[in-house]
C-alpha cells in the first residue's frame, strides 16, 4: 500500500505566498552593439539575491541563469510559483540546467529573461503588487549590475546591459516592449542599424501564469 503524502499549506495573513516575476534584459557587446549568448550560471548568486532583496523588500528566489525566449516559453514551472518556492526556498536559487541549443544568430541582440519568485506574506500582497514596475532604487540598481556584469563578461563603459524594471510575469510582454524601445535608442546613439524588436509571447502563455500562489511544504 502506498501512502499519499499531503502537502501542507499555511493559511492566514502571515502565510507566505509566491509571486512570479521577471526581469527582461539584453546584453550588447562593444560599440557595434553585437549580441552574444549570455545564458550562463551566475557567478555571484548571493550578491544577486541581495540586490533583488533591496529592490523588492522581500525574499527573492531567482533562477540561477537567464533564460532565452524559447526556454521561458516552454518552461512549465513558470506557472507554478508556489511549487518552485516550496522546492527551492532553502537554496534560494532555481536551477535551470545547461542552456538549450538554439539557432539564433549570435551577432544579433539576445533576449534574456530572469524568472524570480518573490516570497510575500498574504497581508502584504496588495501593497507588493503596487510596487512592481517601479524604477530601480539606485543602490539596488548598482548592486544588480555589479552582480551580473562579471557573469555576462561585460566591460563597463564599453559593453551595455539593458534591462527593465521587475514586473509580474504576466506583464512580461509589456516589459519586452519597453526593452525594445531602449534597445533601439542604444543602436541609434551608436549609429548602428537597429536589427528589429524582440518577439512577444503569445497572450495565452502569460495568461496561464497565476497572480500568486500559497507555498506548500
Task: With respect to residue 204, please indicate whether it lies within any of the assigned structural domains.
Answer: no
Task: Answer yes or no: are the C-beta atoms of 46 and 18 closer than 8 Å.
Answer: no
pLDDT recorded at residue 144: 97
Residue 217: the pLDDT is: 65
Q: Which is more confident, 3 or 97?
A: 97
* pTM (predicted TM-score): 0.91
Q: Examine residue 127 and state whether it is found in any structural domain, yes or no.
A: yes
The pLDDT mean for the chain works out to 92
Diameter of the chain measured on Cα atoms: 70
Flag whether pLDDT at 3 surpasses 60.
no
Q: Flag whether 36 is in a domain.
A: yes
Percentage above 90 pLDDT, the chain: 88
- Whether the CB-CB separation of 25 and 112 falls below 8 Å is answered with yes
Contact 81, 16 (CB under 8 A): no
Which tens digits make up the pLDDT trace of 188-204? Answer: 999 999 999 999 999 99
With beta carbons less than 8 A apart as the criterion, state whether 28 and 34 touch.
yes
How far is the C-alpha of 22 from the C-alpha of 2, rounded, in Å? 39
pLDDT at 4: 41
Q: Which domain holds residue 26?
A: 16-199
Q: At 1, is the pLDDT very low, low, confident or very high (cuts 50, 70, 90)?
A: very low
> Residue 117 in contact with residue 84, Cβ under 8 Å?
yes
Q: Give the angle subtended at the CA of 85 by the CAs of 87 and 131, to the nearest 5°.
A: 165
Give the pLDDT score at 34. Answer: 95
Q: Does the residue 182 lie in any domain?
A: yes
Are 29 and 159 contacting, i.e. CB atoms less than 8 angstroms apart?
yes
For residue 213, being part of any structural domain is answered with no
Q: Residue 81: what pLDDT?
A: 97
| 102-161: pLDDT as tens digits | 765 567 899 999 999 999 999 999 999 999 999 999 999 999 999 999 999 999 999 999
Is residue 8 pLDDT above 80, yes or no? no
Residue 208 lies in a domain: no
Residue 152 within any structural domain of the chain: yes
Does residue 212 lie within any of the structural domains?
Answer: no
**Phi and psi angles of residue 33, each rounded to the nearest 5 degrees, phi first:** 60, 45
Phi/psi of residue 22, each to 5°? -145, 155
Rounded to whole angstroms, how far apart are CA atoms 87 and 80?
11
Of 212, 36, 197, give the one whose Cα is nearest residue 120.
212
Q: What is the reported pLDDT for 6?
A: 44
The number of folded domains in the chain is 1
Amino acid at each position: 500500500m502506498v501512502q499519499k503524502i499531503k502537502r501542507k499549506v499555511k493559511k492566514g495573513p502571515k502565510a507566505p505566498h509566491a509571486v512570479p516575476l521577471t526581469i527582461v534584459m539584453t546584453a550588447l557587446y562593444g560599440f557595434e552593439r553585437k549580441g552574444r549568448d549570455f545564458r550562463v550560471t551566475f557567478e555571484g548568486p548571493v550578491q544577486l539575491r541581495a540586490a533583488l532583496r533591496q529592490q523588492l523588500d522581500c525574499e527573492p528566489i531567482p533562477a540561477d541563469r537567464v533564460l532565452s525566449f524559447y526556454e521561458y516559453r516552454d518552461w512549465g514551472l513558470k506557472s507554478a510559483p508556489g511549487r518552485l518556492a516550496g522546492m527551492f526556498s532553502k537554496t534560494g536559487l532555481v536551477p535551470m540546467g545547461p542552456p538549450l541549443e538554439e539557432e539564433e544568430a549570435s551577432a544579433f541582440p539576445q533576449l534574456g529573461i530572469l524568472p524570480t519568485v518573490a516570497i510575500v506574506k498574504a497581508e502584504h500582497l496588495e501593497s507588493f503588487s503596487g510596487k512592481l514596475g517601479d524604477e530601480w532604487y539606485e543602490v539596488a540598481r548598482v548592486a544588480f549590475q555589479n552582480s551580473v556584469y562579471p557573469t555576462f563578461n561585460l566591460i563597463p563603459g564599453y559593453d551595455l546591459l539593458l534591462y527593465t524594471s521587475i514586473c509580474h510575469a504576466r506583464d512580461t510582454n509589456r516589459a519586452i516592449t519597453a526593452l525594445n524601445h531602449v534597445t533601439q535608442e542604444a543602436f541609434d546613439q551608436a549609429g548602428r542599424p537597429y536589427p528589429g524588436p524582440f518577439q512577444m509571447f503569445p497572450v495565452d502563455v502569460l495568461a496561464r501564469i497565476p497572480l500568486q500562489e500559497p507555498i506548500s511544504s
